[in-house]
Amino acid sequence: MDVSAQIEAVYDTLRRRNPGEAEFHQAAHEVLHAIGPVLTAHPEYADARIVERLCEPERQLMFRVPWVDDQGTVQVNRGFRVEFNSALGPYKGGLRFHPSVNLGIVKFLGFEQIFKNALTGLSIGGGKGGADFDPKGRSEAEVMRFCQSFMTELYRHLGEHTDVPAGDIGVGGREIGYLFGQYKRITNRFEAGVLTGKPVGWGGSPARTEATGYGTVFFAQEMLATRGQDFDGRRVVVSGSGNVAVYAIEKVHALGGLVVACSDSSGYLVDENGLDLALLKEIKEVRRERLSAYAEAKPSARFSDRGSVFDVPCEIALPCATQNELHQQDAGALVKNGVLAVAEGANMPCTPEAVEVFRGARVLFGPGKAANAGGVATSALEMQQNASRDRWTFERTEDQLAGIMRQVHAQCRASAEIYGGDADDYVLGANTAGFRHVADAMMAQGVI
């Protein structure tokens, strides 16, 4: 059987064994259909069934999370943790609290995390978790009770050498604090390295909050530099207005770019003068309001609940909201308006059809497993600090982050040249480089 037939057989089996998990199928399809040249060059991977083993999580956890709301009513949610691959280190990946969370979503995120974590060059495996709980509109007491119930089940599967969760959508410093407090209460150990994304005052890393957004911009900056360009004076559109988006905007402004639009689930905001970051943070991080509140406060801004933020003309686009938010027609609009580069700040925000539009138009395209690796990279730096009982400065951590993103970028280009000949093919480069790291470790450790 030739390599392409082997890959198709693996993918067909994956779809049959994981029915109804469209996002997981999509993530696996991208990886499997990129690594053909690697399998051709290394037939020993096929002999050891590396691909088949990679596609099957080492462990999948699904559990009930009962809690009591402020009215005294018992609520029941579902919790998940998929420990996908530990060949390179303890499972590492965030927890997502959002009504859309299901096993397929968590598996897609965990599968992506394997290769993203491998690209950082740090000793971390891939995993992901979460719950179909929505913290929006819940009181502090309700969020605390939910987190405590969630951790009461999950704690037995965690440990700084086993599985180290962090935050994701719906899980910020507040939720990490409640989760850590319950872990400490149950285990009677202040095991700082068991969760990352902690506040700086008790074991967190400076720059962790900013890391994913900053890292995406650093990666985009490296892509632009290959064509003698940078952010200075460029129009930029960022989708989302959560943690990743806010700090991507902050770093773009620091590099001289002008972010003119962002979005949330209610619509998108345009401010031709450049987004007022202080006002945006006030509305989103303090008042927790919709973007329409920004337009009400700023005469220069307009808010729209129709169309797409990607309709706004720009030279650089940073999709930083959620999976499959940027569709083929959005990609077409961006290309028509002259976009130079797209870097994914979220996990798989571009549909496969949109990615093909960008690649066909020779737009610089940084896939999420490379472009948004800054968050997990800084989580691993937080683990280093926890292990040594040390605390770095913000500047030292940011310098380390920038260095890691440069190294991720260089790996992608080098691997793309080896396996395809086109250094600008970051999709091929990210998938093949990440796969090689994990496959070699799995080969060395035997059939486990």
Angle at CA of residue 240, ends 22 and 319, nearest 5°: 65
Query: Binding residue per annotation — 113?
Result: yes
Q: Is 385 annotated as a binding residue?
A: no
Q: Nearest-CA neighbor of 341 among 319, 370, 362, 316? A: 316
Q: How many whole angstroms separate alpha carbon 448 and alpha carbon 437?
A: 17
**Helix (H) or strand (E) segment spanning residue 370:** helix 368-371
Q: Provide the terminal-to-terminal Cα distance of the chain, rounded to the nearest Å.
A: 25
Is 116 among the annotated ligand-binding positions?
Answer: yes
Length of the chain: 448
Closest CA to 269 of 314, 312, 213: 312
Nearest-angstrom CA–CA distance, 207 and 394: 6
What distance lies between CA 255 and its chain's CA centroid? 22
Alpha helices in 42-128 (DSSP H): 43-47, 50-54, 103-119
Q: Is 243 annotated as a binding residue?
A: yes
The residues pairing with 343 across neighbouring beta strands, listed in sequence order, are 366
CA 28, 33, 38, 42 torsion-angle sign: positive
Say if residue 256 carries a ligand binding annotation.
no
Residue 184 labeled ligand binder = no
Q: Which of 128, 198, 251, 369 is catalytic?
A: 128
Residue 386 assigned to a binding site: no
CA angle at residue 131 from 156 to 178, to 5 degrees?
60
128 catalytic? Reply is: yes
CA–CA dist 151, 143 (Å, integer): 12
Query: How many CB atoms within 10 Å of residue 62?
Result: 12
Point out the annotated binding site for substrate.
Answer: 92, 113, 116, 167, 379
Point out the annotated binding site for NAD(+).
Answer: 212, 243
Residues noted as catalytic: 128
